[in-house]
Amino acid sequence: MDEKYFPETIEEKWQQRWADERAFEAREDDPRPKFYALEMLPYPSGYLHMGHVRNYSIGDALAWYKRLRGFNVLHPIGWDSFGQPAEQAAIKRGIQPRAWTEDNIVAMRDQFKRLGISYDWSREIAAHRPEYYKWDQWFFLKMLERGLAYKRTSAVNWCPKEETVLSNEQSSGGVCWRCGTQVTKKEIEQWYLRITEYAEQLVADIKEIEAGWPEKVLKRQRDWVGRSEGAYIDFKVKDQDEKIRVFTTRIDTIFGATAIVIAAEHPLLPKLLEGSTLKDDLLQFAENIKAARAIKTEDLSEEEEKLGMNTGRLAINPFNGELLPIWVANYVLMDYGAGAVMSVPAHDERDFEFAQKYTLAIRQVIAPVVHGQQSEPVDQASGGDQSIEMKHAFVEYGVLVNSGEWSGKLSTDAIRELAEYAAAKGFGGGAVTYRIRDWGISRQRFWGAPIPVVYCEKCGMVPVPEKDLPVMLPDNAEFSGTGESPLKSVPEFLNTACPKCGAPAMRETDTMDTFVDSSWYFFRYCDPRNDGMPFDTAIAAQWTPVDQYIGGDSHAVMHLIYTRFWTKVMRDLGLVKFNEPVKRLLTQGMVTNRVEGTNEWKAMSKSLGNGVDPDEMIEAFGADATRLFILFAAPVENELRWSETGIEGAVRFLRRVWIMVYKWRPGYAGILPAHTEDGMQAGSLRSQNFSDAARALRRKTHQTIARVTDDFEKLDLNTNVAALMELSNALGEFNVEPASASDADRFVAREAIEALVIMLAPFSPHIAEEMWEGLGHEGGLLNSAQWPVADPELAKQEELEIPVQVNGKLRSRVIVSPDISEADLRELALADSKVQSFIDGHKVVKVIVVPQRLVNVVVK
């Protein structure tokens, strides 16, 4: 340890030592309890940005903390290395995606190492390597076998700019999640994974993780799955042997149905129109709706005008035999529920609006409940089945009216009983629907895992046998940028033999969505070199589930729902034994920077020109200060608006600690006492012989240990750093010259310093290691040190300053011993001269004494 703190020298030194000693490699034969700390793996764009630095600094702080607390910590890293940018680079600059990706990985790995993140590099993985994507393909085959993967033609979300298919999640809000371009629809054959099969579990199992996941993420997942309980009802079509099924959550309003409305895409529409003079008009109308939806434009805030046409057909309400006109309208969606609704204008806003526009009957069948009793129908209803005047739909639950034998029942009861009745009569029953759609994984892309099937003229679609995996990506594709998969341009890839009959066959040229890669990667870290299985189940069982996962909340519904789904599939395949892969999730806030020339703060990005290069920060201030600052600057879940002014403070803090450690370190005239068996607890020195200043420092030390330990469990890292600064300040105020210090003083200083150095390691590991070595722990790395233990006795205040209020206003303070009796405290407070002056001339009505806290004198 030198007298002066030079970050660049010591950071390089310790990075080398850590690598040489394989300091952070996790071992399966380590008997200590495990802890799996995981950060979302980066896409290898070629450079880290400050958002990465934040993400990985949080994770590393936790990994260090858990190691020091005696856990066997698994802290791995890898590369989400399939995806568009590599292909864009190929199109634009003629670089092969593989070479581009590998170069980027090298560059970013170096950056990670310069940051000194304590990864187990021996477990590094990359999605684009055959030894990884082989297992994507393996999983696909398993799902195919179980009917969880299937192919169908459908209208997909299409990004016209990137010329690729997007999943529902990736086109949320009608725009491409990556480039923001308006999404359109396109008919195409696609591979899907049956995530809907797991819809119920994806909702129900939330109870297993709700304690450890942010509520906002769970809410978005619940909304995404969109579970809805209700009933279906089959309406017979008059004069045709057909039924129309509708889904409703309000079967209690069935007697208020005045029409059936079906989606433009409804398969029954042509049949309904048979023999109708309006057939052509209606079919054209339906086509117009579909077309309008496909190019649904910019302004999403504007609700589309409701458009509809009467088919001229009638449906029969099975509850009362009433005849209802069947309409086609743009506000009914084919891909939700049954693609048809019963229109109840009196009790549904949309139906109401529609009925008003087309003057359909509006019949009230639910009345509000007043004092638990039935009231008159709202808006001076005339009763009966006449249309009535209403300004809005009445959408609340209430009591049924005009509903035959169900009149008088409460909605909640009627919902159940009507569904049961429908089921008994065979024309309906209770039903649950979900908004979530199956996961389309086909991409007309090169840079992804090839979907392992072939098409044979004789045998049709044939899965590639497991023994032939991986289906390798070729190295010589042409990148035209036309939207056709580049794999189609590689005959050696395209043409193959049918695995079944040996006849010439063609390979599938679609590749998998990259979210497949990231759905299970953290299981692969457990056993990254296994070439017989995705991972050994026993080894995975030792490490998983992940104890703490850290990443941006932009993945709240995509990655995080896919990985939950994947885990459930793996469970059903017998690979894991639990339902949920991640116990605790932290969604860290974005790091934003001002966009030059504007007043907007946006996530740092190259295209906006508001990026900050971590390497420049490291060069100017050191990795330790950069990491410390980014964790100190804001609570981990908040947005962090980048500013360089604060980072100087972090450097100053580290330098001050350095100076104090240097001053007190052994070797400086042998100041510190030799290490004692019981280390910092040193019972014999405990209470006697300590000066007031020494006792105050000990107190601060133990208070800080308690606070930091507590804050780590809550991941309150910013207050954690503040606590360390306070301890360092207290140490600075401990005004004792090392050369002339008493044994007791030396002991107390040493205790404070060692605690400080250990607790600093999670934030600024290089300087911590250097100081640890400087303190004489030359044998081992700080890695194997023990987290200090707070002694509550030592942390206790010797005296308390109790605020005294008069009528709730602070008037004075009294200094008392912590175990003063309530009566004594009360007396002391009342006797205080300042307090007296405020009581004077008034009558004391009441005295509130909160032990250890405050006294409030109430006067009149």
Partner RNA sequence: GCGAAAGUGGCGGAAUUGGCAGACGCGCCAGACUUAGGAUCUGGUACCGAAAGGUGUGGGGGUUCGAGUCCCCCCUUUCGCACCA
Q: How far apart are CA 489 and CA 476, in angstroms?
A: 9
Burial class from Cβ neighbours inside 10 Å (0-12, 13-18, 19+) for residue 284 reads exposed
Q: Which of residues 258-277 bind RNA (CB under 7 A)?
A: 263
Of residues 97 and 308, the one with the C-beta less far from RNA: 308
Q: Evaluate the omega torsion of the peptide bond into residue 470 and state whether it is cis, within 30 degrees of 0.
A: yes
Nearest to 715 by CA among 118, 41, 57: 57
User: Residue 71 — left, alpha, or beta (φ > 0 → left; ψ -120 to 50 → alpha)?
Assistant: beta
Nearest to 830 by CA among 818, 808, 846: 846
Of residues 641 and 663, the one with the C-beta less far from RNA: 641
Q: How far apart are CA 830 and CA 852, in angstroms?
A: 16
Q: Which of residues 39-68 bind RNA (CB under 7 A)?
A: none
Using the contact rule CB under 7 A, the part of the chain among 3-11, 385-393, 646-654, 746-754 near RNA is 646-654
Indicate the pairing of strand 582-588 with strand 546-552. Answer: parallel
What amino acid occupies position 349? E
How many residues make up the chain in this entry? 860
Using the contact rule CB under 7 A, the part of the chain among 43-51, 225-233, 381-389, 669-677 near RNA is 225-233
Q: How far apart are CA 793 and CA 225, in angstroms?
A: 51
Of residues 292 and 541, the one with the C-beta less far from RNA: 292
Tell me the closest approach of the beta carbon of residue 420 to RNA, in angstroms. 17
Indicate the pairing of strand 72-74 with strand 34-39. Answer: parallel
- When binding is defined by CB under 7 A, the residue of 31, 94, 147, 173 that contacts RNA is 173
Give the x-and-dash track for 604-633 against RNA (CB under 7 A): ----------------------------xx
Q: Rule CB under 7 A: is residue 809 a binding residue for RNA?
A: yes
Q: Rule CB under 7 A: is residue 640 a binding residue for RNA?
A: yes
Phi/psi for 198 (5° steps) reads -105, 10
Nearest to 177 by CA among 515, 509, 486: 515
Q: How far apart are CA 708 and CA 785, in angstroms?
A: 16
Q: How far apart are CA 424 and CA 231, in angstroms?
A: 13
Give me 17's structure tokens: 């030592």
Residue 465 DSSP class? P
Nearest to 171 by CA among 421, 423, 513: 513
Using the contact rule CB under 7 A, the part of the chain among 67-75, 362-370, 468-476, 722-730 near RNA is 722-730
Give me 222's structure tokens: 């619940």
Q: How far apart are CA 36 and CA 75, in angstroms?
A: 6
Q: Which of residues 729-748 bind RNA (CB under 7 A)?
A: 729, 732
Using the contact rule CB under 7 A, the part of the chain among 463-471, 510-518, 816-824, 852-860 near RNA is 852-860
Q: Rule CB under 7 A: is residue 491 a binding residue for RNA?
A: no
Give me 387's structure tokens: 């249309």
- When binding is defined by CB under 7 A, the residue of 325, 339, 450, 622 that contacts RNA is 339
Q: Rule CB under 7 A: is residue 230 a binding residue for RNA?
A: yes
Torsion of CA 670, 676, 679, 685, to 10 degrees: -90
Q: How far apart are CA 236 and CA 322, in angstroms?
A: 11
Q: Rule CB under 7 A: is residue 470 a binding residue for RNA?
A: no
Nearest to 425 by CA among 318, 279, 287: 318
Q: How far apart are CA 18 and CA 74, in angstroms?
A: 16
- When binding is defined by CB under 7 A, the residue of 55, 444, 514, 856 that contacts RNA is 856
Of residues 45 and 807, the one with the C-beta less far from RNA: 807
- When binding is defined by CB under 7 A, the residue of 332, 365, 477, 752 that contacts RNA is 332
- When binding is defined by CB under 7 A, the residue of 305, 389, 677, 678 that contacts RNA is 305
Of residues 133 and 247, the one with the C-beta less far from RNA: 247
Tell me the closest approach of the beta carbon of residue 760 to RNA, in angstroms. 13
Tell me the closest approach of the beta carbon of residue 339 to RNA, in angstroms. 6
Tell me the closest approach of the beta carbon of residue 633 to RNA, in angstroms. 5
Q: Evaluate the omega torsion of the peptide bond into residue 7 and state whether it is cis, within 30 degrees of 0.
A: no
Q: Rule CB under 7 A: is residue 808 a binding residue for RNA?
A: yes
Using the contact rule CB under 7 A, the part of the chain among 215-223, 467-475, 478-486, 745-753 near RNA is 215-223
* C-beta of residue 518 within 8 angstroms of C-beta of residue 561: no
Q: Rule CB under 7 A: is residue 397 a binding residue for RNA?
A: no
- When binding is defined by CB under 7 A, the residue of 186, 718, 826, 839 that contacts RNA is 718
Nearest to 343 by CA among 288, 393, 293, 383: 393
Q: How far apart are CA 320 and CA 806, in angstroms?
A: 73
Q: Rule CB under 7 A: is residue 295 a binding residue for RNA?
A: no
Of residues 675 and 699, the one with the C-beta less far from RNA: 699
Give me 334's structure tokens: 């084919």
Q: Rule CB under 7 A: is residue 568 a binding residue for RNA?
A: no
622 Cβ contact partners less than 8 Å away, ≥ 6 residues apart: 7, 8, 11, 651, 654, 766, 767
Q: Which of residues 534-563 bind RNA (CB under 7 A)?
A: 557
| Helix runs in 161-241, H state only | 199-204, 206-209, 215-225
Which secondary structure element, helix H or strand E, spans residue 522, and what is its range? helix 514-524
Alpha carbon separation from 49 to 7, 108, 115, 580, 614 (Å, rounded): 21, 10, 12, 31, 6
Of residues 32 and 853, the one with the C-beta less far from RNA: 853
Q: How far apart are CA 630 and CA 53, in angstroms?
A: 8
Q: Which residue has the tokens 């619940």?
A: 222
Q: Rule CB under 7 A: is residue 649 a binding residue for RNA?
A: yes
**SS3 category, 207:** helix
Of residues 311 and 856, the one with the C-beta less far from RNA: 856
Q: How many chain residues interact with RNA (CB under 7 A)?
A: 78
Of residues 462 and 620, the one with the C-beta less far from RNA: 620
Tell me the closest approach of the beta carbon of residue 802 to RNA, in angstroms. 7
Using the contact rule CB under 7 A, the part of the chain among 57-65, 310-318, 446-454, 844-852 near RNA is 844-852
Tell me the closest approach of the beta carbon of residue 33 to RNA, in angstroms. 27
Using the contact rule CB under 7 A, the part of the chain among 16-24, 539-547, 562-570, 850-858 near RNA is 850-858
Give me 451's structure tokens: 């979907």
- When binding is defined by CB under 7 A, the residue of 297, 638, 684, 687 that contacts RNA is 638
Q: Residue 242, Cα to own-chain centre: how many angstroms?
A: 46
- When binding is defined by CB under 7 A, the residue of 60, 440, 805, 835 that contacts RNA is 805
Q: Which of residues 346-375 bind RNA (CB under 7 A)?
A: 348, 350
- When binding is defined by CB under 7 A, the residue of 709, 813, 828, 851 that contacts RNA is 813
Q: Rule CB under 7 A: is residue 301 a binding residue for RNA?
A: yes
Tell me the closest approach of the beta carbon of residue 369 to RNA, in angstroms. 20
Q: Rule CB under 7 A: is residue 341 a binding residue for RNA?
A: yes
Of residues 182 and 249, the one with the C-beta less far from RNA: 249
Q: Rule CB under 7 A: is residue 324 a binding residue for RNA?
A: no
Give the x-and-dash track for 422-451 against RNA (CB under 7 A): -----------x-x----------------
**SS3 category, 635:** coil
Q: Rule CB under 7 A: is residue 635 a binding residue for RNA?
A: yes
Q: Which of residues 654-683 bind RNA (CB under 7 A)?
A: 655-656
Using the contact rule CB under 7 A, the part of the chain among 4-12, 269-277, 513-521, 721-729 near RNA is 721-729
Of residues 226 and 738, the one with the C-beta less far from RNA: 226
Q: Rule CB under 7 A: is residue 840 a binding residue for RNA?
A: no
Q: Rule CB under 7 A: is residue 807 a binding residue for RNA?
A: yes
Q: Rule CB under 7 A: is residue 297 a binding residue for RNA?
A: no
